[in-house]
């Protein structure tokens, strides 16, 4: 087979996350590693084409994301749509690329990370900044000892040095050649406890993915999620108050829902001050053999809606997404053979974009507006979007021009009465995220200051400090990843507990 045939065959399944796995698979058939320039002419996804054309896919904005899978373990959930496969963590199927790789390596975190680094370097990517995405069933349900060991081994693999303890490995990573700039875990809202959040911070976690799926108590019952919306709100509040970034998983097309309800639920998720995720993954329900939902479908008790209706729902979700949220994914990267009913289209994002354009609408989520690396010659403004959220206010500060976002910062201003889990956060305004997508030659900001090549992230930090001071906060705290602590030290911050702090 030629590279053209191989790419065309897999086109529908390709995403930014899995393209490197496919490149490897193709290389076996071709007996050589295909270059970016040999791949992109046959791709159909414009985002992927752009990424492959300009630079390494995974190293956009210089950060390489790695999925690392935990061993199969018991999940406390009984969700009726969730597949189980022997030898896989609950909800994962062995034909997904990250799962395949993990199984092959016996779910060893060290080998997974080490292998991934090697693989990326072979294909010319820079791996100096690594974002670890820990996947598996429900993180909270794994034994604490296993979690600690798992994290230590991931750090050791990144460091290329075996340390005596997790804290030693973390200390080493602060100034290592390859630094960990973010770690996320995935869990259930009812498993977000005080002890769990404390452990996350000790491990270096900066982001949490929460499975919510539906914003309707009746549907949650019907699909046997085993938690309610009060628990979702509380989990969100705990996480925010710990400075964590929050990604919700949302599942349209579930039993008990309909297109109208799905759209209403999305609206509630964005507008209700108890919720409001920073990131969103939309996984339309899929009817997979062996699940309870599959049986319901066979008995005729569940009828998923067709592609046209689903597209309408997803289109509305996109159109409603506020400027402070980023839609990370719209459909699960899964092969068709598992799907009995529901949708199997994986290039939906492109289809939706076109549909929205037709009616003069746009998705305003971060992903659809972020510039892709590089230096731009444009005028940008500082925008501040403030909203109420359970337990405090959320400020989304960004540098933007008419069409694009260049940098952003999320600032949490907790209420004085709020119970905080960490002493070092008492009385502090909390920076939950700082992200720069591209640089600007000359910044002509609303405050009239002209700077050249000044880091936008740094400027946002200064602005955030100003705002916090004005609001009466005496302290700033940043949830820094282990590998970005040095950056904040240069801005006058020091380590207290697991946060970088500064007196205002």
Residue ranges in contact with Zn ion by CB under 5 A = 327, 363, 365, 367-368
Nearest-approach distance from CB 213 to ligand SF4, in angstroms: 8
Does residue number 236 form part of the binding site for ligand SF4 (CB under 6 A)? no
| Residues forming beta bridges with residue 327, ordered by sequence position | 280
Contact between residue 326 and residue 280 where contact means Cβ atoms under 8 Å apart: yes
Residue 41 CA to residue 57 CA, distance in Å, equals 15
The CB-side HSE value for 321 (13 A sphere, CA atoms) comes to 31
Neighbours of 353 (CB within 10 A): 17
| Residue from the set 91, 159, 241, 480 that interacts with ligand SF4 by CB under 6 A | 91
Return all residues near 457 (Cβ < 8 A) that are at least 6 apart.
407, 409, 434, 435, 436
* Tokens, residue 502: 């500064």
| Residue from the set 34, 56, 77, 252 that interacts with ligand SF4 by CB under 6 A | 77
Nearest-approach distance from CB 376 to ligand SF4, in angstroms: 41
Nearest-approach distance from CB 253 to Zn ion, in angstroms: 19
Of the pair 214, 430, the CB lying nearest ligand SF4 is at 214
Residues, the chain: 504
Contact between residue 94 and residue 100 where contact means Cβ atoms under 8 Å apart: yes
Of the pair 34, 140, the CB lying nearest ligand SF4 is at 140
| Residue from the set 18, 59, 123, 138 that interacts with ligand SF4 by CB under 6 A | 138
Distance of CA 260 to CAs 128, 164, 215, 267, 361, Å?
A: 45, 55, 13, 11, 19
Which of 427, 252, 438, 257 is CA-nearest to residue 352?
252
Which of 329, 439, 283, 319 is CA-nearest to residue 15?
329
| Residue from the set 51, 68, 79, 183 that interacts with ligand SF4 by CB under 6 A | 79
Residue 380 CA to residue 401 CA, distance in Å, equals 5
Q: Which stretch binds ligand SF4 (CB under 6 A): 35-43, 74-82, 281-289, 396-404?
A: 74-82
97 binding partner (options Zn ion, ligand SF4, none; Cβ < 5 to 8 Å by kind):
none
* Three-state DSSP class for residue 127: coil
Does residue number 71 form part of the binding site for ligand SF4 (CB under 6 A)? no
Nearest-approach distance from CB 311 to ligand SF4, in angstroms: 24
* Tokens, residue 60: 């956009």
Does residue number 412 form part of the binding site for ligand SF4 (CB under 6 A)? no
Alpha-carbon radius of gyration of the chain: 22
Does residue number 75 form part of the binding site for ligand SF4 (CB under 6 A)? yes
Q: Tell me, by CB under 6 A, how many residues bind ligand SF4.
A: 10
Measured N-to-C along each axis, helices 144-159 and 109-122 cross at an angle, to the nearest 10 degrees, of: 30
Nearest-approach distance from CB 203 to Zn ion, in angstroms: 31
Return all residues near 253 (Cβ < 8 A) that are at least 6 apart.
262, 284, 285, 304, 305, 310, 313, 342
Nearest-approach distance from CB 321 to Zn ion, in angstroms: 6
* Tokens, residue 202: 């000790």
| Residue from the set 68, 82, 313, 366 that interacts with ligand SF4 by CB under 6 A | 82
235 binding partner (options Zn ion, ligand SF4, none; Cβ < 5 to 8 Å by kind):
none
Q: Which stretch binds ligand SF4 (CB under 6 A): 73-81, 290-298, 317-325, 443-451?
A: 73-81
Return all residues near 290 (Cβ < 8 A) that are at least 6 apart.
83, 84
Binding mask 16-55 vs ligand SF4 (x if CB under 6 A, - otherwise)? ----------------------------------------
SS3 readout for 208-252: EEEEEECCCHHHHHHCCCCCCHHHHHHHHHHHHHCCCEEEEEECC
Nearest-approach distance from CB 142 to ligand SF4, in angstroms: 12
365 binding partner (options Zn ion, ligand SF4, none; Cβ < 5 to 8 Å by kind):
Zn ion
Does residue number 211 form part of the binding site for ligand SF4 (CB under 6 A)? yes
Contact between residue 66 and residue 103 where contact means Cβ atoms under 8 Å apart: no
Of the pair 293, 382, the CB lying nearest ligand SF4 is at 293
Q: Which stretch binds ligand SF4 (CB under 6 A): 23-31, 76-84, 111-119, 457-465?
A: 76-84
Which of the residues 144 through 173 are near ligand SF4 (CB under 6 A)? none
Of the pair 137, 252, the CB lying nearest ligand SF4 is at 137
Does residue number 88 form part of the binding site for ligand SF4 (CB under 6 A)? no
Of the pair 75, 425, the CB lying nearest ligand SF4 is at 75
Q: Which stretch binds ligand SF4 (CB under 6 A): 77-85, 346-354, 363-371, 495-503?
A: 77-85
Contact between residue 387 and residue 273 where contact means Cβ atoms under 8 Å apart: yes
Which of the residues 172 through 201 are near ligand SF4 (CB under 6 A)? 188
Residue 69 CA to residue 83 CA, distance in Å, equals 16
Of the pair 192, 409, the CB lying nearest ligand SF4 is at 192
Contact between residue 366 and residue 408 where contact means Cβ atoms under 8 Å apart: yes
90 binding partner (options Zn ion, ligand SF4, none; Cβ < 5 to 8 Å by kind):
ligand SF4
327 binding partner (options Zn ion, ligand SF4, none; Cβ < 5 to 8 Å by kind):
Zn ion
8-state DSSP, 324: T
Nearest-approach distance from CB 88 to ligand SF4, in angstroms: 11
Of the pair 181, 405, the CB lying nearest Zn ion is at 405
Residue 310 CA to residue 259 CA, distance in Å, equals 7
Contacts with ligand SF4 by CB under 6 A lie at 75, 77, 79, 82, 90-91, 137-138, 188, 211
């Amino acid at each position: 087979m030629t590279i053209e045939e191989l790419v065309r065959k897999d086109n529908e399944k390709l995403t930014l996350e899995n393209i490197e796995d496919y490149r490897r698979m193709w290389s076996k058939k071709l007996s050589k590693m295909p270059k970016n320039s040999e791949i992109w002419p046959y791709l159909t996804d414009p985002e992927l084409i752009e990424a492959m054309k300009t630079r390494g896919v995974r190293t956009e904005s210089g950060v390489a994301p790695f999925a690392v899978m935990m061993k199969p373990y018991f999940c406390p959930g009984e969700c009726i749509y969730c597949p189980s496969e022997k030898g896989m963590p609950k909800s994962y199927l062995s034909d997904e690329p990250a799962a395949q790789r993990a199984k092959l390596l016996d779910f060893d975190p060290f080998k997974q990370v080490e292998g991934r680094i090697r693989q990326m370097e072979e294909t010319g990517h820079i791996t100096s900044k690594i974002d670890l995405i820990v996947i598996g069933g429900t993180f909270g349900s794994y034994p604490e000892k296993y979690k600690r060991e798992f994290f230590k081994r991931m750090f050791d693999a990144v460091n290329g040095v075996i340390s005596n303890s997790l804290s030693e490995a973390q200390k080493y990573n602060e100034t290592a050649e390859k630094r960990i700039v973010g770690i996320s875990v995935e869990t259930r809202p009812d498993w977000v406890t005080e002890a769990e959040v404390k452990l996350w911070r000790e491990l270096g976690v900066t982001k949490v993915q929460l499975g919510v799926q539906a914003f309707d108590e009746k549907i949650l019952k019907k699909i046997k999620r085993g938690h309610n919306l009060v628990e979702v709100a509380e989990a969100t509040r705990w996480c925010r108050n710990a400075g964590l970034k929050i990604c919700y998983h949302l599942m349209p097309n579930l039993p008990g829902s309909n297109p109208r309800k799905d759209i209403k639920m999305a609206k509630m998720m964005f507008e209700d001050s108890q919720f409001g995720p920073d990131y969103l993954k939309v996984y339309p329900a899929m009817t997979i053999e062996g699940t309870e939902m599959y049986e319901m479908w066979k008995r005729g008790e569940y009828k998923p809606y067709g592609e046209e209706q689903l597209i309408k729902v997803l289109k509305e979700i996109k159109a409603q997404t506020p400027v402070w949220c980023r839609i990370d994914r719209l459909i699960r990267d899964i092969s068709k053979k598992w799907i009995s009913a529901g949708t199997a289209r994986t290039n939906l994002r492109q289809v939706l974009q076109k549909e929205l354009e037709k009616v003069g609408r746009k998705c305003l989520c971060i992903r659809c507006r972020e510039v892709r690396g590089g230096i731009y010659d444009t005028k940008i403004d500082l925008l501040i979007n403030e909203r109420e959220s359970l337990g405090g206010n959320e400020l989304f500060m960004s540098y933007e021009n008419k069409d694009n976002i260049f940098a952003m910062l999320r600032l949490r201003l907790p209420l004085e009465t709020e119970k905080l889990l960490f002493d070092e956060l008492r009385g502090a305004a909390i920076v939950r995220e700082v992200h720069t997508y591209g640089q600007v030659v000359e910044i002509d900001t609303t405050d009239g200051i002209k700077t050249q090549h000044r880091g936008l992230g740094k400027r946002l930090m200064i602005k955030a400090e100003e705002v916090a001071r004005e609001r009466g906060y005496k302290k700033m705290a940043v949830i820094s990843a282990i590998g970005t602590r040095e950056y904040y030290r240069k801005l006058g911050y020091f380590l207290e507990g697991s946060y970088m702090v500064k007196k205002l």
